[in-house]
């Protein structure tokens, strides 16, 4: 089940991002300059909207994959680094104290949700165009 997909849960600690992550940091610039809504619209039909347990937002999983490719990390490494790297948590839309996913979730996402899509090509076009 999918709810409002990408909103940062406000906590008393999210203001740390403004202090820790420089304004010119690459991940901050990607957040500000790339509109991912088209990708989200494409993925929405791969999920049930009204029943089942809550899904991890697909845009968050896409962002994990972006981090994985950008920093040349394995699934396990990108998830581990997301536990302590504040720039990763910021990019993922997580509050500093929020838990991260299980690495196997990325594999399932690629196999079940990205199968038969051209999402990754569209992401490249968004970032270059």
- Highest mean pLDDT out of 41-50, 82-91, 116-125: 82-91
pTM: 0.85
pLDDT tens-digit profile of 39-82? 777 888 778 788 888 888 888 999 999 999 999 999 999 999 99
Q: Long-range contacts made by residues 82-90, C-beta under 8 angstroms, separation at least 24? A: 86/16, 86/17, 86/20, 86/21, 87/20, 87/21, 87/25, 87/27, 87/28, 88/27, 89/17, 90/17, 90/21, 90/27, 90/28, 90/31
Over residues 121-127, the mean pLDDT reads 69
- The predicted pLDDT at position 116 comes to 77
Q: What is the mean pLDDT of the chain?
A: 85
Q: Hey, where are the domains in the chain?
A: 16-128
Cα–Cα distance between 36 and 61 in angstroms, integer? 12
């Amino acid at each position: 089940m999918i709810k409002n997909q990408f909103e940062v849960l406000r906590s008393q600690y999210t203001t740390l991002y403004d202090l820790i992550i420089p304004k010119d940091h690459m991940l901050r610039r990607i957040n500000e300059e790339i509109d991912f809504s088209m990708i989200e619209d494409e993925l929405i039909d791969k999920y049930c909207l009204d029943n089942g347990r809550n899904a991890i937002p697909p845009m968050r999983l896409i962002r994990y994959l972006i981090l994985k490719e950008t920093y040349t990390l394995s699934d396990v490494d990108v998830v581990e680094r997301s536990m302590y790297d504040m720039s990763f948590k910021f990019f993922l839309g997580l509050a500093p104290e929020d838990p991260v996913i299980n690495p196997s979730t990325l594999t399932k996402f690629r196999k079940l949700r990205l199968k038969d899509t051209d999402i990754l090509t569209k992401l490249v076009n968004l970032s270059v165009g």
